[in-house]
Amino acid sequence: MKRKTTRLTFTEEELANPNVRRAAKKAARAADRADKAKAKLSTRAPPKRGLKMDADKAKERSAQLRFGKAEFSEEIAKPKRRKPGAEALLGGEAHRQVDKQNQDENAGVQAAHEGERLAEGAAKKLKNGKYSRKLKAYKKAERLDKAADKANIQALHRKKQAEQPTSNLISRWKQRQQIKASYYARKTGSKMSGSAANTARSAATKKAKAAAAKAAQFASTHAHMILMGGVLVLLIMVIFCFITSCSVFFPGGMGTVWTTSYTAEDEDILGAEADYQALEEALRAEIAAIPSSYPDYDEYTWDLDPITHDPHQLAAVLTAIHEAYTRGEVQGTMQSIFDAQYEIILTETIEIRTRTETRTGTDPTTGDTYTYEVEVQYEWRILNITLLNFGIDSVARGMLSGDDLDRYDILQETQGNRPELFGGVSVGYGSDGSGEVGIDYEVPAEALSDPEFAAMLEEAEKYLGTPYVWGGSSPETGFDCSGYVCWVLNQSGWDVGRTTANGLWQQSAKVSEHEAKPGDLVFFQGTYDTPGASHVGLYVGDGMMISAGDPIKYSNIHSSYWDKHLLGFGRIPK
């Protein structure tokens, strides 16, 4: 992974196209997020290797010389590797021996022994905790770097579309694949240097001359076989031309349609999706129950990636592996994908803190009682809960290879020729259980004809991908749902202050969904235990909103989750 994220530059003329301009802004924001994550990674340089002089090398070689016969034991001939867990086994055996010898339950020995165990456990968990945090930071930077690459490719594709519009789906896919290949070639600097290219050409020329000489020799001795081979090739070409001419009646070819489509029945695809959602719901319940399962802690800290997936990615990988699958036969595969996508890490931190305690004493002279304060040290036990989400796409690329991986990429690009299957957009399911579109949705151009809404949306989209923060109300602190909407409104000419979702519901003039227009607010109830409106988003038209889920993203308000919590629409007067 490069230290600096790849950034694109566009001319003013190219940015005059609104689609290119919006894609370029998204690419720049994605690069900013990736660079911010990379800046947090360790920059320590690896230790430098010292140069060895010839005299040093000779000294080393002479030290290794043997004279006469040496008695080789098996340990010398084949040194044994240290077995995994050997230190833990030795430590455990040592503790067992101490317990065995302490049969009389000496309190001092037992206390010292328990203290040693606690220290060993705390050191081990501290080491594991540091590693998991470094791993999470690296994984996050890697994920954001890939997202930046994806945004760059999208921007280049928009630019190409503006220059050479194509309406055919397969043509667009081929165009995008060419752009992707060119982008990664330039990024990795895969072109050969001049000297390497000359060497390769020279070697190729020699091989070509040798092959030509052998071919001439073969032709002189096997003329009749070559004639028969020529007739066979001619026959194959005739058949191929016939098949090709027939494919004119089926634009793109039946093979292309098959390759780019989901082959399972809708019922099985949607059923498998529901089962995967159930796995995620069980994961949410497991995480929520951790304080009950581990009650002996004073504090719990949470660092959770969003519990989210894209159902089109799930359908694509299941199709690439199983083709026309049924709901029942993919349960094992989905469990394997799920186990690879999510990882829960629990680490313990023990802090030594001090508190002031009031105590009572007695004056030895007068017998009077008095109170005094002392500083007392105590242990404060913290359980750190980390959830890592590596994403289905990352898991799929680790599971698939060759033609299966190519098939997966095509299905991703075409959405299986069924973009409407999961509600008309590529949706996933957020950490609150909601349907999400993510940060790549594009508001229809006709909605942007209203300059007031266009300015509001430009402000709202600045924070796409920002993590949810309870109580947050500014870019510096992060946002919760109401803090985000209040910020956007206040920056766009309204003055609503800082209030809750229910407070905005009370301030707004109620409108029906039919009357709602881009720039209105959409409200939900019952997303958690509170009276009235519990969630609010900015309505952008076509059944879509942008709101602070986890992270800030576009969502389909008629997904299975949001639809059952929909409260109504409101318009805030200026």
Q: What are the tens digits of pLDDT across the range 361-420? A: 898 888 899 999 999 999 999 999 999 988 999 899 988 888 888 889 888 888 888 888
Check whether 120 has a pLDDT greater than 80: no
Q: Is 102 helix (H, G, I), strand (E, B) or coil?
A: coil
What's the pLDDT band for 476 if we cut at 50, 70, 90? confident
Each as own residue / partner, the long-range contacts of residues 293-297 (CB below 8 Å, 24 or more positions apart, any chain) are 294/346, 294/383, 296/381, 297/348, 297/381, 297/382, 297/383
Check whether 432 has a pLDDT greater than 50: no
Q: Write the DSSP string, 79-99.
A: PPPPPTTHHHHHHHHHHHHHH
Check whether 78 has a pLDDT greater than 90: no
Q: Write the DSSP string, 461-486.
A: HTTTTPPB-TT-EETTTEE-HHHHHH
The Cβ of residue 489 has, within 10 Å, a number of other Cβ atoms equal to 22
Output the pLDDT for position 338.
95
Output the pLDDT for position 47.
46
Output the pLDDT for position 155.
83
Check whether 63 has a pLDDT greater than 50: no
Say which residue the tokens 């080491």 belong to.
127
Q: Over pLDDT 90: what percentage of the chain?
A: 27
Residues in the chain: 574
More confident residue, 59 or 166: 166
Check whether 356 has a pLDDT greater than 50: yes
Inter-residue contact 262 to 315 (CB < 8 Å): yes
Check whether 333 has a pLDDT greater than 90: yes
| Nearest residue to 160 (alpha-carbon basis) of 17, 37, 28 | 17
What's the pLDDT band for 505 if we cut at 50, 70, 90? very high
More confident residue, 72 or 375: 375
Distance of CA 510 to the CA centre of its chain: 38
Output the pLDDT for position 519.
93
Q: Over pLDDT 70: what percentage of the chain?
A: 66
What's the pLDDT band for 109 if we cut at 50, 70, 90? low
- Answer left, alpha or beta for residue 373, where phi above 0 means left and psi between -120 and 50 means alpha: beta
Check whether 114 has a pLDDT greater than 80: no
Check whether 172 has a pLDDT greater than 90: no
Pairing of strands 521-525, 509-511: unpaired
Output the pLDDT for position 191.
44
Output the pLDDT for position 523.
96
Output the pLDDT for position 26.
84
Check whether 1 has a pLDDT greater than 60: no
Q: Write the DSSP string, 343-357.
A: EEEEEEEEEEEEEEE
Check whether 128 has a pLDDT greater than 70: no
Query: What tens digit of pLDDT does each residue of 251-300 get?
Result: 444 445 557 889 999 999 999 999 999 999 899 889 888 998 999 999 98
Pairing of strands 299-304, 533-541: unpaired
Check whether 352 has a pLDDT greater than 90: yes
Output the pLDDT for position 434.
42
Which of 164-178, 395-409, 560-574 is predicted least confidently?
Answer: 164-178
Output the pLDDT for position 420.
81
What's the pLDDT band for 144 if we cut at 50, 70, 90? confident
Instruction: Work out the mean pLDDT of the chain and round it to a whole number.
Output: 76
Query: What tens digit of pLDDT does each residue of 458-473 get?
Result: 999 999 888 887 778 8
pTM: 0.38
Check whether 344 has a pLDDT greater than 90: yes
Give the right CATH number for 440-571 from 3.30.1360.200, 3.40.50.450, 3.90.1720.10, 3.90.650.10. 3.90.1720.10
Measured CA to CA in angstroms, residue 221 lies from 209, 226, 229, 508 at distances of 19, 10, 15, 93
Which of 9-23, 226-240, 331-345 is predicted least confidently?
Answer: 226-240
Output the pLDDT for position 537.
95
Say which residue the tokens 């009682």 belong to.
369
Rounded mean pLDDT, 336-348: 94
Check whether 349 has a pLDDT greater than 70: yes
More confident residue, 24 or 52: 24
Check whether 123 has a pLDDT greater than 70: no
